[in-house]
Each structure stands twice: as structure tokens, then as C-alpha cells.
Structure 1
Amino acid sequence: MNYIDNILFAVLLFLGIGFFIRNIKKISRNIKLGKIVDRSDRKKNRLKNMVMIALGQSKMVKRPISGILHIIVYVGFIIINIEVIEIIIDGLFGTHRVLRFLGGFYSFLIGSFEILAFLVLVSVIVFWIRRMVLRIPRFWNKEMKGFPKNDALYILYFEMILMSLFLLMNATDVPFQQVNAGNPISQFLVPFFENFNAGTLFLIERSAWWLHIIGVLIFLNYLYYSKHLHILLAFPNTYFANLNPIGQLTNLEAVTNEVKLMMDPTADPFASAPEGSEDEVLGKFGASDVTDLNWVQLMNAYTCTECGRCTSSCPANLTGKELSPRAIMMKTRDRLEEVGKNIDKNGEFKDDGKQLLNDYIAPEELWACTSCNACVEECPVNIDPLSIIMDMRRYLVMEQSAASPELNMMMTNIENNGAPWQYNQMDRLNWKDE
């Protein structure tokens, strides 16, 4: 490799990593648009969650076939990319298989990489068959059309190509094959190239080498636009997940403050609290747009894998209701991306006349939820669609009085009579005698 190749490689590497960092900063900025919520408690439990769920894939294997295949792809993705370290060193300094000095350990590494590459290749082919031949229903919900459907296929094709290029690179590397330095899979490809001359083999090997590293950089930067961003965000998402018991809902601080004010006989209800103080009453109850959600909920939206386990377990969806927990997360992410692009264009957010509620998520979807937590329990990376649904319901009820007539009647009765029924205050306990 001459110096021109080294310079070209360095420029390519710099641009690829630079673009990736730029996009990660955008994601970080967008997530920080959410309201502050403290998730710094119970650090040991949080670390355990991250190790068991994000690293150990413990929730994936609840569905054994897809779970085991995913673990193979996951482990392969992590371990095989160690080879990228050698490629980067070779590319920058013009060396060739610089880690060969590791001797037998290098042979073990490459042998392991090749076996994993073959297993990954088989796994992604099975994934493709499950999607496109068996057509498993959860991959074909109405929200999985257009880009969401194609996105999953693009990643599968990417992985097929990258694994094939890795094996092809090894098979056509004549010096590498001659010393038999850990090539249990690529050696089976060697007979296909027996009639090729040395120059052609060198050209194929170099082409596969360049295409492999270019493919890795493209894949890295495609993550920003893809559901496969969960490769990175699954770790913080599981660490900062809600550790409260399932079914325990959060209280609105603004409501708590108002109740305290009502119960304080010395309080002046017409006095306004200092701006920014803990007693300041928030301007909005619940959430109608992404900036009303907290930063963990926004990170949830970016982490969603679109696997559909939540939707396939949702009783409302199974009975034909509009609700799809997966769609809730996808729509939240789409709106957050729209807000981010608005900020990029204007330097700050300019009102675009849109919001998450109604423009992206319909009230019918929200009211279809039974709040059973099946979606939260099923998610392999601890995403919580229910929290977003409940916050948006709160806005509908407390800001717009837009609940169903039955629910509005019940709340009116509780307010006036102290009970859900239209009884007189004096008769509100009569139900116990019936």
C-alpha cells in the first residue's frame, strides 16, 4: 500500500467517524429537549439491569428462536469488529495483517471470527426468511410499511455483505492462506479461486478489504437513521429504565403542589411562586408534544428496535383497536426528529403548528390502552410506551377535558359527590348495602 492509499484511508476514516460524532451530538441534543427526571438512584440495580438485559440479552430469549439468532448476530457483531482495529492500523500505516505477531492467539482470533461470520451469515438469512417468506405477522403491521419495513431489510443485506466480504478477503489473501493462520471457513472458499493468477487474487483481496471497511463506516453512520440505533442506546436505556414496581404510576408535581396549596390555610391562592422555584405551578398538565415528555421517554423512542414484541402482546391491538405500542414509539421518534430538524434550520424551535397529539398520535390510540403493562414487560430493552400514553391521556383529561363521556361523568361525580356514582354526598356509601 503506498502513501496515497494511506492518505485516502485516513481521510475516509476521519470523515466517517466525524459524521458519526456529528449525528450522535444531534441525538443527544434532541434527547435533552425532554424534561428533567432523576434516574440516579439504586445504581446497583441499574447496573444489573444493563448487564443482564442489554449485554446479556436476557429478555430476548423469552422467544427462543429469534432470541438465540439475535444473540449470535449480536456477539458476532461485537467480536468480529475487533478485526476492524487491525484494518485501521493496516490502512493508516500501510502494513498487512499487523497483528500476526500474536502468533497462535492471532490464529485463534481469526478462526473465531470466521466461524462467527459464518453463523451471523446463516442467522441473518434465517431472519430474512422469517420476514419475507414466513411473513411473521408482527413484521407486517400497518406501521411497518415503507422505510420501517425496508430499514430492517437494508440492515440484513448490510450484514450479509459485510460477513461475505470478510470471508472473501481471507480466502483470497494468498500469504494468509499459505500459513493456514486460523481460517476454518475461508479455506473452503479457496478451491473457487484456484485458477486465478496472483494478480487477480490480490485485486480481489484488496477490493474486499476496501469494501469491508467502507461498508463498516457506512453501517456506522446509517445507524442514526435506522432502528438499529438500539445497538448503542440499549445500554443507557436499560440503565436509566424505570425501577418502580410494574403498574405504579408517577404523580404530577404540579398537581401535588396545587393540592398542598389547597390544604394550606395560610396560603394565598392568588400569590405566584418565584419563577423556577419548586412551588412554581407548571404551565401544562401531561404531554401534548415531545418537549413535554421527559428525556428518558425520548431516549426510549430512539432506542425502539421496532421488533413488534410489544404490539404482538398488546390486548388492545389483538382485539383490533387502533393502538400499537410500537407505533407510539415510532411516531414519538418521528416527531422528535422533526423538532430537531426545525432547530437545525432556525437555530431554535419555531412553532410549526404541529404537535405529537393529533398530528402523530390520535386520541383513539391512547384511550384504547388498558394500561396492562404487557408492552413494557415484553420489550427486550425496557422501553416504556405506557408512560407516554399516560402522560398524553393526562393532557387530554386535565387540559382539554377530552375524556370519554363516561369517564368525564365519573370524574365529575367524584368531584361533586366524593364517589363515582351520582349519589348525594349523604348517600355515597349506600353501595355497600346493595
Structure 2
Amino acid sequence: MAYIDNILFVLLLVAGFGFFAKNVKKLVRNIKLGRAEDRSDNPSARWNNMAMIALGQSKMVRRPVAGILHIIVYVGFVLINIELLEIIADGVFGTHRLFAFMGGFYNFLIASFELLALGVIVAVVIFWLRRNVIKLWRFAHGDLKGWPKNDANYILYFETVLMFLFLTMNAADHYLQGVGFGHYHAAGSFPVSGFISPLFNGIAPETVEIIERVCWWLHITGILIFMNYLYYSKHLHILLAFPNTYYAKLEPKGKFENLDSVTAEVKLMMDPNADPFAAAPATEGDVPAKFGASDVQDLSWVQLMNAYTCTECGRCTSSCPANLTGKKLSPRAIMMKTRDRVEEVGKNIDANNGTFVDDGKSLLNDYITPEELWACTTCNGCVEACPVNIDPLSIIMDMRRYLVMEQSAAPTELNGMMSNIENNGAPWQYSQMDRLNWKEEL
């Protein structure tokens, strides 16, 4: 009977981490639905990106208020969860504050955790006010409603409850240490919960111990639940921000990728010695099955990881000139819709024993409309604004490429321009013989 708590704790850990591993496996499978893309070049620059942007939060602080508050929550939540190591050890071995042998350093750690916990609570309250009372434009935008809007609030409530459980657990522990109850030996420094512990004066130590144990169990259970909730939440970026910034594009933002097959044809056309009626020499793998992208399987795995990493912060949309002038395009919505479609395809695969069965839907038209795609000015404002280096423009351009090269479905003005270039060698409708007439005016 003495080991029932330990057994239950181990079962809780196995269930929590087992479900988490299952979700990670599904996440990796869904990201791999995308086509292959090599992002292994220049590893030193990639490690630097990850260190500065994901770990150092360098792009977050471009908006100082949100950036500093986010750093407090991020650092606080990560460091406080270091105490999980002790909680897990105590739960498995039936000990209490196992790491207290570190003495003064342990006291410093617990004090730091408590101050950070208080900082997290303050930051979360400000975040909630910005979303729900002040209603900042990017949080009240039309593309952030329903589940995405509620999810953000759920996370704020979750973090607040976890921090209060942590502080209440410590306050009860501090009180029991003070009265010398049971195995609660003096350990730790409690600059925040020390102000809470007097509330237990006059309460039987046995009752305070129950409060401490309940908070302890709820705290670890809550963290395991939060860990598994990440897959269904925008806060998946807590995990994916690191690989996403590592594999982000390193080339200048204005540089677009050309298809090898198209490049080969253009070079053939420009070769004065080439037979104008000859086809471009084919090389293995240079001709894609489809030009551009109409569904998530046509996008690269990097683009799908981008979609899962999206924090839904709206910085991209608030920087988008097309959106600001009333156009339908929202870069945030592009990423959210891509993620929704990947999830739908993943569920289709799960329901059909690992095989995708055509569901008559696609990312293009069913999720993202041509109107959204053609509203983009390709200014890269969204890419520059994203705090975790997501690239919505690459998805927009791949889907535009499909519309143009597979469906000839470009806007009338663009089709006219391309026809003029093909026939006249210029965007304007006049004879090639007249192209140099402008020089006569010099």
C-alpha cells in the first residue's frame, strides 16, 4: 500500500509521455506529406538563426511591449519546468524535495522560479487584457475567430492556473516546514509564496498537507495535459520554433526559386545555335509531376512545418499592405488554412489505414481562394515580420504558379501581359520592330 502513490505517478507519466509521443509521430508524418526539399546548406548560419531568433527572441522585441512580456512568459515557463525533474524524481522514488541537498543554490533556484512565476502571471494578465479588453486590431481581425481565438485564451488560463498551483504548493510546503510537520524539512527560499503561507495559520497541518499534495498532483498533471494539448494548439510553436528557424530560407527574401525544367527551356530558347523546334534535354527528376501547388502534398515539408509553427500572432497580417487596404488576403489565414488542410489529409490517412483517399477537396479553392493569392504584392512584409521565420509568400507563389502554369487561370491583365511578352518581347502590345523607337527621341 505504501507504494500506491508511486505506481499511480509512474502510470500517469507513462500515459502522458506515451500520448505525447503518439502526437509527435503523427506530426512528423503529416509534415513529411510535403515534397522533399534540401535545407542542409550553411549549417553555421542556420544554428545562428536558431540561437538568435528561436532562443534569443530577437524578432519578438521589435514590438517591445509584446516582446518583453513574451520573454518573461517564455523564460519563466521553461525555467520553472526545470523543477519537473525534481517533481518526477520525488514522484517515482517517494521522496520530498530530493534536490535540497544543493543547499544555497537550491534556495536560489526556488526563489528564482517563484519570482518568474509571479512575472508569468502578470504578463499573462496583460496579454489577456490586450486580447479581450483593449482588443488590439490583430487579435480582433476577422480571420481570428472561433477556435483560434478561444485557443489563445485557453492557453492564458492554463498558464495562470499552473503558476497559481505552483505557488500554492510552495506556500503550503513553506508553512509545513515552519511548523516542523512530518517530513517537511527546511528547504528552499520562498519570496512570493512566503506571503501566501500565513493564510494557512489556524488550519490543521494535516489539512495543509492535503492542500500541498493536491496542488502537487494537479501541477504535474496539468503540465502533462498542457504538453499534450500543444499538438492541437497554436502553442505548438514552443517546440517547432527551433527547427523552423534552423531550416528557414537563407537567401535574400526577394530571391524567387525557378523550376529547373523551365530554366532549361529558357536557356534552350536563348541559345542561337539551338534548334528552335527541339525540346529541352530531359534530365532525371527535372520535370515535376505538377507545376506549382494545388494541395498540401505539392508543398514542401518546410512549408508544412511553417504552417504548424504559426503562432497566429498576426504580425504578418498587420504588416501586409494588401490586407491593410481591404483586400481579402491575410498571411496568417494562409498559414492557418494550410495547417487545417494538412490535418484533414492526416485524418483521411488515419481513417483509411495509412492511405490517402481522394476526398474531392484541395487547398486551392476549398481553403484558399485565387482572390487571396492574387491580392499579394510579393513585398515580403509578412516574412520579415514573422517572429519565427515563417514564409507565407512561398506558399502563395507556389499556388500562383499552379494557377498560371497548370490552369492558365491568371487575371486577365496578367494573361495579356504574358501574351505580349511571348509575342512581342515586351509587356506592351506593339511590334518587336518598334521596340527601339524610343531611342529616336534622344
Select between 262-271 and 228-237 the one with higher mean Cα deviation: 262-271
CA distance in 1, matches of 2:384, 2:424: 37
Structure 2 gaps, min length 5: 180-185
Aligned residue number for residue 222 of structure 1: 229
Among residues 313, 316, 320, which one is paired with 1:310 in the alignment? Answer: 316
Residues 1:148 and 2:120 aligned together: no
Task: Return the offset for 1:421.
Answer: 0.8
CA distance in 1, matches of 2:131, 2:205: 41
Amino acid at match of 2:221: I
Given that 1:110 and 1:182 are in contact with CA atoms closer than 8 Å, whether structure 2 keeps it comes out as yes
Given that 1:311 and 1:326 are in contact with CA atoms closer than 8 Å, whether structure 2 keeps it comes out as yes
CA distance in 1, matches of 2:255, 2:282: 30
SS in 2 for 1:172: helix
Given that 1:170 and 1:177 are in contact with CA atoms closer than 8 Å, whether structure 2 keeps it comes out as no
Among residues 334, 351, 355, which one is paired with 2:362 in the alignment? Answer: 355
How many residues of Structure 1 are paired with residues of Structure 2 in the alignment? 431
Residues 1:410 and 2:417 aligned together: yes
Structure 1 gaps, min length 5: none
Among residues 173, 185, 195, which one is paired with 1:188 in the alignment? Answer: 195
Aligned residue number for residue 367 of structure 1: 374
Q: Where in structure 2 are the equivalents of 1:386-425 lying within 5 Å?
A: 386-425=393-432
CA distance in 1, matches of 2:7, 2:389: 43
Select between 264-273 and 227-236 the one with higher mean Cα deviation: 264-273
Task: Return the offset for 1:113.
Answer: 0.5
Residues 1:33 and 2:55 aligned together: no
Task: Return the offset for 1:427.
Answer: 1.1
CA distance in 1, matches of 2:19, 2:87: 20
Aligned residue number for residue 22 of structure 1: 22
Identity of aligned residues (%): 69
Q: Where in structure 2 are the equivalents of 1:31-430 lying within 5 Å?
A: 31-173=31-173, 174-177=175-178, 179=186, 181-260=188-267, 265=274, 277-279=284-286, 281-346=287-352, 347-430=354-437
CA distance in 2, matches of 1:105, 1:292: 53
SS in 2 for 1:106: helix
Task: Return the offset for 1:257.
Answer: 3.7
Deviation string, structure 1 residues 41-79 (Cα, Å, up to 9, x no partner): 111111111000000000000000000000000000110
Aligned residue number for residue 182 of structure 2: none
Given that 1:2 and 1:94 are in contact with CA atoms closer than 8 Å, whether structure 2 keeps it comes out as no
Task: Return the offset for 1:138.
Answer: 0.3
SS in 2 for 1:382: coil
Amino acid at match of 2:50: M
CA distance in 1, matches of 2:430, 2:302: 42
Deviation string, structure 1 residues 69-102 (Cα, Å, up to 9, x no partner): 0000000011000011111011111111111111
Amino acid at match of 1:310: C
TM-score by length of 1: 0.96
Amino acid at match of 1:241: A
SS in 1 for 2:89: helix
Taking a change above 3 Å as real, the CA distance of residues 422 and 271 of structure 1, as seen in their structure-2 partners, is: closer
Q: Cα RMSD (Å) of the superposition?
A: 1.8
Task: Return the offset for 1:270.
Answer: 7.2
TM-score by length of 2: 0.94
Deviation string, structure 1 residues 371-422 (Cα, Å, up to 9, x no partner): 1111000000000001111111111111111111111000000001111111
Given that 2:328 and 2:371 are in contact with CA atoms closer than 8 Å, whether structure 1 keeps it comes out as yes
CA distance in 2, matches of 1:7, 1:267: 77
Deviation string, structure 1 residues 220-247 (Cα, Å, up to 9, x no partner): 0000000000000000100110011121
Task: Return the offset for 1:175.
Answer: 3.9
Amino acid at match of 2:341: R
SS in 2 for 1:407: helix
Given that 2:17 and 2:224 are in contact with CA atoms closer than 8 Å, whether structure 1 keeps it comes out as yes
Taking a change above 3 Å as real, the CA distance of residues 180 and 203 of structure 1, as seen in their structure-2 partners, is: same
CA distance in 2, matches of 1:377, 1:200: 55
